[in-house]
Structure 1
């Protein structure tokens, strides 16, 4: 699994990816980096959302300009991306993780997004391209009932992040269903490899989604007062969905284990059947080989050397022994 993140390459305005001033009615207008750095609300209800490359030059200076404490600044720009959330005065700080849908990525490769919010400004920071913020940005730009305040924006981001997780889980379940319906004799090695990949993906997703569940619970429990009751209810719904996804992962993992055991059992049964048949064949030819070997020794006194019928007598004897063996194997239920 690839957990290291490569530097972003799409920061074209300093560290800024995009910035929007929400008007409190589900829409917003863009700002340039210089405007976002010195932004102040012009009317009641306005909030600023700034999405940044956390490893780009200028980020730490901007965080210091906002008066964010040094330990929190280090957390927001660090590569320690285990999901967590905590309250610091009237601000909310969190690290969340979402599935990496970039080309060539595996479902278990997850990307981090740090956020900091004081109820007026929301900063989100990432290193690799993350599709969730762009999804919410489209809602705002299209005026499609986008978030109206910081609490709604945070809940929308977490909801979109969790929703995208479901597609990876559904895809794994579809692969498992296909493996269960396929012929066990049809390329079992390939099926075993696919099941191993699914199990690794399940373990990787659960390793990150478990702490994500704890982080969302911390947001719901400890968020500042500007995080309103309806936002807490939305987060509670997201927590419930994430819990169901974790249960689905457990079921998928157990299904993969059962399916792998069945494939291994089938392979062992086929191997044992082949060994059994070889043993039967060896048991049949052992006495015949003994007789022919005994009669083939090159010593004097061998009976039938001067008789023209001796060969056919030996063939008849071997046939009789073979018939007797087959009868006994059938009676003993070996065949």
Structure 2
């Protein structure tokens, strides 16, 4: 870091601190950084933003982490204080886009602060886009499995998709607004080609925000449809149980009445009485079933 502070050559200086802890953040800010920018770099909780301070800008955008994280915020932030000839940036957790940006810088494709910010915007949007598309694809599979799949497992999958879509959209839309705000400023270190790349990334974020909103609404409708199907299935089973119970109700009455152990039961000593009672029960059961079919309580 001390060698970087003494650098006086061409190009620009990028001072980047990655995976910084809460106790380390206050010590990363130099005295020449404005207080507002310092607070933005060291804030515990951040949202995507772009604010102009004289000839510099506070740029905070969020993107996928380099590794899986156990956090409700699916996207991690990079905070940048950008001005001519220098960028100070901080990430509390490794950002997936940093590796590609470092490779582009080593290849000489990044020559000024505007190129660096544009590279981050481009790489973050490119990294996040497949993840958002995967949510939509998974939801498509859920829709095709709705009629034949395991509804208990399907319900948890849909709930997870909706939760992820809400978590992503929480920062994707502000990312778009921050990049559009940055592209609208007339900084001398932000060239026309940088603005073009930033607006392209912002357009991609806008499309992802729309897709996430569609995924959220579709998952809600699919969840309601799944609930309706389960309720209909329960109703059909309850109706079937009721029909069976109604059919056996008169049969139970007849067999119970004739099965009493008292004198005077008709045909008690007739050898054909049992089969007569069986035929009577069958006729009553078929008649009740036919009545249900005629009333369309059950389908033929």
Q: TM-score, normalised by structure 2?
A: 0.89
1:58-113 alpha-carbon deviations (Å, 9 max, x no partner): 76445224x11233212201212111110111111121111224136689611011
* More off after superposition, 114-123 vs 252-261: 252-261
Is 1:294–2:257 an aligned residue pair? yes
Aligned CA-pair RMSD: 2.3
1:97-150 alpha-carbon deviations (Å, 9 max, x no partner): 11224136689611011001121111111011112122111112234xx12111
Counterparts of 1:78-117 in structure 2, within 5 Å, are: 78-103=43-68, 109-117=74-82
Listed as ranges, the gaps of 5+ residues in structure 2 are none
User: Matched residues in 2 for 1:169 and 1:77: separation?
Assistant: 29
- Contact kept in structure 1, 2:64 and 2:96, CA below 8 Å: no
Is 1:193–2:160 an aligned residue pair? no
Is 1:63–2:26 an aligned residue pair? no
Which residue does the alignment assign to 2:274? Answer: 311
Secondary structure in structure 2 of the residue aligned to 1:186: coil
- Contact kept in structure 1, 2:67 and 2:94, CA below 8 Å: yes
User: Matched residues in 1 for 2:105 and 2:189: separation?
Assistant: 21
- Contact kept in structure 1, 2:59 and 2:82, CA below 8 Å: no
Give the direction of change, closer, same or farther, for the CA distance of 1:57–1:191 in structure 2 (3 Å limit).
closer
- Contact kept in structure 1, 2:142 and 2:154, CA below 8 Å: yes
Secondary structure in structure 2 of the residue aligned to 1:64: coil
Is 1:228–2:191 an aligned residue pair? yes
Which residue does the alignment assign to 1:174? Answer: 137
Of the three residues 126, 131, 136, the one matched with 2:96 is 131
Secondary structure in structure 2 of the residue aligned to 1:333: coil
* More off after superposition, 212-221 vs 239-248: 212-221
Which residue does the alignment assign to 1:11? Answer: none
User: Matched residues in 2 for 1:73 and 1:246: separation?
Assistant: 30
The Cα of 1:303 is off from its aligned counterpart by 2.8
Give the direction of change, closer, same or farther, for the CA distance of 1:251–1:101 in structure 2 (3 Å limit).
farther
Counterparts of 1:4-43 in structure 2, within 5 Å, are: 33-39=1-7, 41-43=8-10
1:216-237 alpha-carbon deviations (Å, 9 max, x no partner): 1221223633223332232222
The Cα of 1:157 is off from its aligned counterpart by 0.8
Counterparts of 1:315-330 in structure 2, within 5 Å, are: 315-330=278-293
Give the direction of change, closer, same or farther, for the CA distance of 1:101–1:299 in structure 2 (3 Å limit).
farther
* More off after superposition, 273-282 vs 323-332: 323-332
More helix by share: 2
Which residue does the alignment assign to 2:205? Answer: 242
Counterparts of 1:264-275 in structure 2, within 5 Å, are: 264-275=227-238
Listed as ranges, the gaps of 5+ residues in structure 1 are 1-32
Q: TM-score, normalised by structure 1?
A: 0.81
- Contact kept in structure 1, 2:112 and 2:189, CA below 8 Å: no
